[in-house]
Structure 1
Amino acid sequence: MKTISAADANRHFSKLMRDVAEGDAVIVTSHGRPVAKIVPLTEEDRERDEQVAAGRRLLERLEAQPVLGPLTWTRDELYDDEPYPESF
């Protein structure tokens, strides 16, 4: 595992990200003390992020739909072949 100072991480951020993307984990230090660990995303992380994004897209679609008031049916209508009233 590599160790880099916060100042060097700031100066060489692009290289640091390339190293992490290639699978290296990096400890970032400040005044000689470890303060952060940068690790590559796992496949599970990516899948979870995709699921969260899909859930957010679904919620946005649902929130954009008009709200329909409560629908009422009679007992006869519930057992008809057409379950929805004509006004629906």
Structure 2
Amino acid sequence: METVNVHDAKTHLSRLLTRVHAGEEIIIAKAGKPYAKLVPLAQPKKRRPGIARGAVTEAFFEALPEEELQAWEK
């Protein structure tokens, strides 16, 4: 893990981000002391369409009871 001072980090941010995106972790130091860490984000999981198929029943489409409707209007 490489340590980079704030001035160099500001000057070379695009290069540092490219390295981080490739999997590296970089420490940013201020006055020689670790201040922040650049780490790659986890890749989002691929969405799978239809995962809730069959989970919604006919009851979902029934009208709400009157007291429930009134509670929403308060």
Scaled to the shorter chain, the TM-score interval is 0.5 to 0.7
Which residue pairs with 1:28 in the alignment? 28
> Alignment length, in residue pairs?
49
Which residue pairs with 1:11 in the alignment? 11
Higher relative contact order (CA 8 A, sep 6+): 2
Note the C-alpha offset of 1:22: 0.6
- Identity over the aligned pairs, expressed in percent? 35
SS at match of 1:3: strand
Name structure 1 gaps, 5 residues minimum: 51-69, 73-88
**Alignment RMSD (CA, Å):** 1.9
Which protein has the larger Cα radius of gyration, Structure 1 or Structure 2?
1
TM-score, structure 2 normalization = 0.58
Supply the distance in 1 between the matched residues of 2:2 and 2:32 (Cα, whole angstroms): 14
Note the C-alpha offset of 1:2: 1.0
**Could you say which structure has the higher helix fraction?**
1
